[in-house]
Amino acid sequence: MAPEWLAAHRTDVVVADVRWYLDGRSGSDAYRAGHIPGAVWIDLDTVLADPPSAAQGRHPLPAPDRFAAGLAVAGIGDDQPVVAYDDVAGMAAGRLVWLLRALGQPAALLDGGLAAWPGPLARGAEQLPPARRTPRPWPNEALATASDTADVAGGRSGVVLDARAPERYRGEVEPIDRRAGHIPGARNAPFSANLDPATGRFRSPAELRARFEELGVGEGREVVVYCGSGVSACHNLLALAHAGFDPGAVRLYPGSWSQWSADPGREVATGDGDR
């Protein structure tokens, strides 16, 4: 969603600030220090995820009741259009957008994030009236298990994409999870490469399509996307849709590397290449 459009239609949508930082900084504090006027803050850790565990990963999908309750309190009801943003290239906000789209609700990522907002910022906290929201189950067809992911990575009918930075994919560094490396057979598709480095906005659909086709994505091929904990992978899911690929052929592995690496029975690959 273009910032210019949002500036003209801000009252027609719910604006959600989903700032969150891997280094532990407070997204709430960042929101209170300056946000798009009218925006509500959504806590990734408590609304967009269940509690972490070795068995499920650092950011398991939220239970439908948890997700519905958290959004209802924030004033986001059933079927309301939502525009979400953050200040880390859409890495966190993409999770909310993809979850809403998975449920059939209209949602978009603010292209360019907070830095692209043309108007002044508001300070403090804002609250919309509580909304009515019905818990809805996550569609199984949109999700992949660890075993599903291993099957796709090891076969020839699909591709598994790792949205993390190249150095984490290669296993050179691992700042937070149990083991370093990547799922054997996965290909590295850093979510940051979805953006034009000069503008911070999404590349054109044609550029994105060429990028993903080079990685092995194609019509009729299964695609499973993962990252560290199922958050930044959603950015790739949105980019694939923007590029025109069928969303029904693309799945998220929610447990991602945090779940895979915690399971001693799962093999780990390191270095460049897809094996």
What residues are labeled active site?
Answer: 227
Distance CA 121, CA 123 (A): 7
- Amino acid sitting at position 30: A
Contact between residue 237 and residue 150 where contact means Cβ atoms under 8 Å apart = no
Q: Where in the chain does DSSP place strands (E)?
A: 14-17, 40-41, 82-85, 107-109, 158-162, 187-188, 222-226, 250-252
What DSSP line would sit under 58-91, residue for residue?
SSPPPPHHHHHHHHHHHT--TT--EEEE-SSTTT
Residue type, position 194, single letter: N
With tokens 């804002």, the residue in question is 126
